[in-house]
Every structure is written in structure tokens, then in C-alpha cells.
Structure 1
Amino acid sequence: MVTAALKGGVGKTTTSVYLAALAASGRRTATLIDADPQASAAEWVENATDERLQRIQVIEAPTERLLTKALDKAAADGVVVVDTPPAHERLLTKALSRATVVIVPTRVGGIETSRVEAVLDIVPETTPAGLVICSARTYTRSYQEALNNWIQAGVPVWGTAPERVAITAGPRGPLCPDGLEAYRKVWRRAQYAARSVAA
């Protein structure tokens, strides 16, 4: 499972951490590969007091060689979530070539649409991909318009994470119930998409 974005600040790390936490809450092994040189996801998990995050194995892999090595070592029976760096198309392409499913975090407005389209253009044709709209003000007209535009364009929207400071609080506190609820929907849809392709 690859969390993919070419632009920073769209909720990529938050999405990766919550999805890894949901994976770890089952009986499977959950590995979070942090391919971003900033290592925000690794830092979040390693410094967290939340029990769900303490069950995640973290591997830092900020280069193509390290990423390939980490993916080769990842448990075949477990779930691997890859947090990719922004503005690093080669490394993102490498991660996408090994993905079973791709989650593309985005926000509403600005240049987000063109950035999402750029990511979707490099996702392999047979790999399922869906969006998660992050830090969303779901009551606004701009959110509804963005959601409708993606649906009309035929791009699956797998979920929405509402705008809550607690969701992105990082290691300072436990995972936010609103965040877990929102990302549980994304997790289920991603799992369903991956199973559909494998079947």
C-alpha cells in the first residue's frame, strides 16, 4: 500500500500513520516504510505513546536502493504502508511499481487537482488507486464541488478526513477517534480494491 503525493502538506504522512495503525490493530504484521528524508512518519511512530503505533515496525528508506531493500524484506503475510516523499518522482515511481494499492491524499482547492492527476498518471494501469480528501471542511460548498468533480472524472474517493487539529497532532497524543473512524473507511475500501484485483 503506497501513500502517494507529489506535493507536500496534503496529509500524506498522517494518512500513512493512521493506515499503518489500522493494519497493526488486526492480527497481521504492519510495517511502515518511511521513504521521506524528513522521516516525519518514523518520528511520529517511534515517539508515540499510543499502543496501536507501538505495534508497527518502522523502516526508514529515503533512497531508491533502500526502498527496494525494504520492500524486498517486508513480510509477505503482513501489510506494508509506504510513505513517499513529495517532489521525488523517481522514488515515487519505484514505490508505485511495487504497490498493490495506492492512496492519494489531497486537499480542496488550489493546484491540488493537477497534482493528483500527475500522480494518477504514473500509477500502473492495473493498480487500484483512490483519493482521501484530508483536512476537509465537509460542510462547505468548495468541498462538495471538489467531491463532485472527482466523481464526475471517474476518480474513486475512498474517504474524507475532517479538519481536526487532533488528527494531525503527531506523537504528542493518542490517535484521534475522528481520524481512526475516517481512515477506517479508507482502509476498508483500499483492502477491497486490492482483493478485487487479486481475485
Structure 2
Amino acid sequence: MLISVVNAKGGVGKTTTSMYLAAAFAAQGKDVRVIDLDRQGTAIDWAERAQDAGEPLPFRVENTIPRRLERIARLAEPEELIVVDTPPGDPEAIDAAIAAADFVVVPTRATNADLSRVWELQPSLEGKAYGVLITFARTGTSSLDIVLQALADNAVPVFDELIPLRENIHSTFGYTPGPESHGYDGVAKQILEVVE
């Protein structure tokens, strides 16, 4: 199964979501691989830092180019779970990740500027299983309520879990995400329920 994490906007938590989801699936005993399509190589950097710290991640991380993604998905073992981390503002990578995906996760912050990119992605997601994941969530705020209502009004699938704004989520860069999953285990569970 291939899960792509996409949004044309940067700073919405794509790499963090990719790595936390991979860790959540690995904790379930799944054979997991993360594919880094971003030229900046943030997921690769994360894995290398963990390796250098003597705490290698419980999943493989590798990079590739967009045109190879479909082949990777086709040749993957049936039990393998692949999570694809995509770059912002790269239509070729985003389109390839969506085309190859069995499920697409669209992380977004609860702001109008971030939500505008979700609307832009809608035509590309037609016919795909997907869900919008609210990241950096601050519960009890009017901006969160407005965004959730807008998504509901447009019948956009949204994950039950809201990923909170927490400093310790970002401090895991270069380490294996710990037992505190911040909701990503619930996201992983919902993805499997839809796909399987």
C-alpha cells in the first residue's frame, strides 16, 4: 500500500506527518518504507541524524524522483507499506504522488491561506481515497471551528484526529517519534480502515 502526504503549501507538517505515520505503522509491526520526493531531503536528513545518534529509525527512508514512483508502487511487496513525503510547490512530484497512491493524506493548518491550497488540490484528488489532516491544531479557537465547518460544508473527508500544536512534536526531528503519537496512531488506524 502506498500513502502519499501532499500539499502544495510548505510548513503544514508534511514531513512530520510522514515520519510519525511511518513510526505508527512500524509500531504495529508493519514493514514500512518512507520515500522522500523533496529535493531538500528533509526525511532523509531526519533518518541520517537518527542513525548518527545511534538510534536508527524502525523503517527505511530513501529518496527518488517522481517518475519512478509508479514503478516503486507496482514492485512493492504486498505487505509493504510505503509513505511518500512530497515537496511544496512541485506539481510534478505532487501529481506523481497522488497518481501512485492508494490513499492521500492532505495535512493543513487551520487558516484560510492554508485551506486555499486544499481547495486547489480537490480536482487532483477526484476518485482517490483521501483525508484532510488538521495539523498545528489549537482546539477551542474560532479559526479551527471555521476551517472544520468549511470542510464539512464541502463534504471534504477529514480525519477524526487533530494533530495538536506541540513543541515536542518538532523536537523529535532526527529521532524516532516516541510513544506519544499525538494522534498519528489514530490517523494510521483510520487509513487502514479505509484502504483495507
When the two structures are superposed, what TM-score results if normalisation uses the length of structure 1?
A: 0.87
CA deviation string 1:43-77 (max 9, x = no partner): 112322696x622111111x223434543443331
1:84 maps to which residue? 86
SS, match of residue 175 in structure 1: coil
| Equivalent pair of 1:3/1:15 in contact (CA under 8 Å) | yes
Match runs of 1:1-199 below 5 Å:
1-48=3-50, 54-61=57-64, 63-125=65-127, 127-158=128-159, 159-171=161-173, 173=175, 175=177, 177-178=179-180, 180-195=181-196
Alpha-carbon separation, structure 2, partners of 1:81 and 1:172? 18
| Equivalent pair of 1:107/1:135 in contact (CA under 8 Å) | yes
| Equivalent pair of 1:166/1:176 in contact (CA under 8 Å) | no
SS, match of residue 173 in structure 2: helix
Task: Summarize the Cα distance change of 1:41–1:136 in structure 2 as closer, same or farther, 3 Å threshold.
Answer: same
Give RMSD over aligned pairs: 2.0
Structure 2 residues not aligned, in runs of 5+: none
The AA in structure 2 aligned to 1:32 is V
The AA in structure 2 aligned to 1:91 is A
Task: Summarize the Cα distance change of 1:172–1:33 in structure 2 as closer, same or farther, 3 Å threshold.
Answer: closer
Structure 1 residues not aligned, in runs of 5+: none
| Equivalent pair of 2:69/2:100 in contact (CA under 8 Å) | no
When the two structures are superposed, what TM-score results if normalisation uses the length of structure 2?
A: 0.88
Higher RCO (C-alpha under 8 Å, 6+ residues apart): 2
Q: How far off is 1:148 after superposition? A: 1.8
| Equivalent pair of 1:104/1:131 in contact (CA under 8 Å) | yes
Q: How far off is 1:171 after superposition? A: 3.1
| Equivalent pair of 1:50/1:174 in contact (CA under 8 Å) | no
